[in-house]
Amino acid sequence: MNILGISAFYHDSAAALIEDGKIIAAAQEERFTRKKHDPNFPSNAIRYCLEYGGISLNKLDAIVFYDKPLLKFERLLETYYTFAPKGLSSFLKAMPVWMKDKLFLKRLIRDELEAIGYDKKKPVKLLFPEHHLSHAASAYYPSAFDKAAILTLDGVGEWATASICLGEGPNITSLKELHFPHSLGLLYSAFTYFLGFRVNSGEYKLMGLAPYGNPSSPDVTRYVETIKKELVECKEDGSIWLNQDYFDYATGLRMVHEKKWEALFGFPKRNPDDELTAEHCNLGLAIQHVTEDIVINMAREAKRLTNTDNLVLAGGVALNCVANGKLQKSGVFKNVFIQPAAGDAGGALGAALAAYHIYFGKERVVDYKSDAMYGSYLGPTFSDLDVELMAKKYKAVYTRFDDFTKLSEEVARVLASENVVGWVQGRMEFGPRALGGRSILGDPRSAEMQKKLNLKIKYRESFRPFAPSVLAEDCADYFEYDGTSPYMLLVHPVTEKRRMPLPANYDSLSLRDKLYFQRSDLPSITHIDFSARIQTVHRETNPRYWQLIDSFKKLTGYGVIVNTSFNVRGEPIVCTPDDAYRCFMRTEMDYVVIGNYVFDKRQQPEWQEKDNWKEEFVLD
């Protein structure tokens, strides 16, 4: 049985194909169109999934869209009615879009499918599970648990903004929901907006900014108290109530009432290019603390309702890896699994899996040893011929290695000399994290590597941290964590033995001075609070990446390297060898390794393109 899942028309459109419950292929549309968070119908992602699966559209058993548009429209109308006469301008802007496209989504989907080869005369069953069921299914069915509590957290689906379910065997039972406009995801996005970052893409920047706040500052305590007193009521069962007097997202065109927030916190909304100050950092830390408290309270309620040792997470808030680390450390659940494509892209996969197990009633086979995401390497791959044709197109100079052991030893040597290396191998990752398939790599021992990567390669804010990829078997040597984290979704501290003492006046230093103080013997991956967003690399799921890190260990004694996504600010992660070479030549990257081919920047012809990536990509 072959089922295609689709997510589209909000952000992070994607497609996923399953065969008899097994995940065959999955990819985001942005990787093909080069438009970050592309919300359009995922025609390219669908073509890829079908080609990889060797099946045509009309041979599918079902096509499944990740939410119920009519239920979402009901929520929209009821919300405007409740808040009337407020929100008229927003209503007038939203209605034409709904009347033209979204109310007739079934027809729109079939029209889009027809454009890529679908025959309407041979219709395929089209299904619409609810948004949070798609999230829940995306986390539970690929997990290694035959019974688990399921917690989903995002901005909003149709009505639900969070849900607690029980997954058992092939069944998912809904136990509790939190409804719009009360939403942890929207609360966090409101602070993302107020602190000058882009909603739906800048939330991870806010998470990275938070540790620059001073935990002992009375401002942090005051901000937390203000948030809980004026903005959000946090209840014991994990549910929350947001004071809509301060928010504008329900019926307006902005996230918050800016003047009211300015009065509440004592400073105005930050503009994207404004310098970050201590008050911004402290407010970021405050909302991160509040978020962590709410997530842990929701997890405790999920534990009470399900009485199981296992928890699975999905939804955009599940990408808050700091909260995930705190949740795991809390011990509420013995085992935690987080869907690596936790946001809306993963809804495509969840929709397909929900249809297979719930609608078609198929049994579930569990591999108790590992999850069924295959390391999240579910996207397109490439051949040697693809690399050679790309090189011919750009007259690029390369060295080919037929022996991968020699290649990994050479790249390890290059990394140990403080070079920055683009690394493109095998199938592209599904989800927002680069996991050694489409990555930029560096030496974690280098005190200058974070600055170099941020300012000369990624062209992004200097405060942004970088993640370590560590050999799974060596994780406890570097971090206060001895479990697995293959999807870079958990934050844990660097071990005490690797830390360096902080100066007595550390908390009073500026953000810039804090940033460049060396905090451990792995300065490029040690965040300002001694934490790190860990990726454990497993020989079973990515043998080439594991071997590279092992070669680096043999050379340097360190089984860990810096890993960041292969893209510049505002650009989606690269997909093809062509994408990779273009990004390589537009930045100050030193080498790019594509399959068995190594390209040294010093040997390349002068880059002739006149276009500017800063004009091509909208900065996020």
Write the DSSP string, 134-185.
HHHHHHHTTSS-SEEEEEEE-S-SSSEEEEEEEEETTEEEEEEEEETT--HH
Q: In 10 A of CB 529, how many CB atoms?
A: 18
- Which residues, including other chains, have CB under 8 Å from residue 533's CB and lie 6 or more apart? 321, 465, 467, 468, 488, 489, 490, 491, 527
Please tell me whether residue 193 adopts helix, strand or coil conformation: helix
Structural domains in the chain plus CATH codes: 2-131+344-372 (3.30.420.40), 143-338 (3.30.420.40), 384-616 (3.90.870.20)
Q: What is the mean pLDDT of residues 116-138?
A: 95
Which residue matches tokens 């404004």? 274
Q: What is the pLDDT of residues 294-336, one digit of tens each?
A: 999 999 999 999 999 999 999 999 999 999 999 999 999 999 9
- The torsion of the CA quartet 591, 594, 599, 600, rounded to 10 degrees, works out to 10
The closest of 584, 586, 588 to 612, measured between CA atoms, is: 586
Q: Is residue 532 scored above 60 in pLDDT?
A: yes
- Contact call for residues 32 and 16 (beta carbons, < 8 A): no
Beta strand 438-442 pairing with 560-565: antiparallel
The number of residues making up the chain comes to 620
State the Cα angle at 352 between 349 and 356, rounded to 5°: 135
Q: What is the mean pLDDT of residues 534-548?
A: 97
State the pLDDT at residue 93: 66
Which residue matches tokens 């479990």? 483
153 or 503: which carries more pLDDT confidence?
Answer: 153
Helix (H) or strand (E) holding 314: strand 310-314
Through-space distance between the first and last CA atoms of the chain, rounded to whole angstroms: 40
Q: Is residue 568 scored above 70 in pLDDT?
A: yes
Which tokens go with 65?
């869209």
Q: Where are the beta strands (DSSP E) in 542-590?
A: 560-565
Please tell me whether residue 490 adopts helix, strand or coil conformation: strand
State the pLDDT at residue 528: 86
DSSP symbol at 457: I
In the beta sheet, which residues pair with residue 4?
17, 63
Distance CA 550, CA 409 (A): 9
Q: What is the pLDDT of residues 494-506, one digit of tens each?
A: 999 999 988 877 7
Residue 270 CA, distance from chain mean position: 24
Which residue matches tokens 């560096």? 442
State the pLDDT at residue 103: 61
Q: In 10 A of CB 610, how many CB atoms?
A: 5
Distance CA 185, CA 178 (A): 11
Distance CA 504, CA 99 (A): 62
pLDDT confidence band for 104 (50 / 70 / 90):
confident
Q: What is the pLDDT of residues 575-617, one digit of tens each?
A: 999 999 999 999 999 999 999 999 999 999 999 775 565 666 6
Amino acid at 342: A
The closest of 386, 412, 382 to 398, measured between CA atoms, is: 386
State the pLDDT at residue 380: 98
- Which residues, including other chains, have CB under 8 Å from residue 447's CB and lie 6 or more apart? 516, 518, 523, 524
Q: Is residue 403 scored above 70 in pLDDT?
A: yes
Please tell me whether residue 111 adopts helix, strand or coil conformation: helix
State the pLDDT at residue 106: 86
| C-alpha distances out from residue 551 to 425, 443, 486, 536, 557, Å | 16, 13, 19, 16, 9
Helix (H) or strand (E) holding 554: helix 543-556
State the pLDDT at residue 187: 97
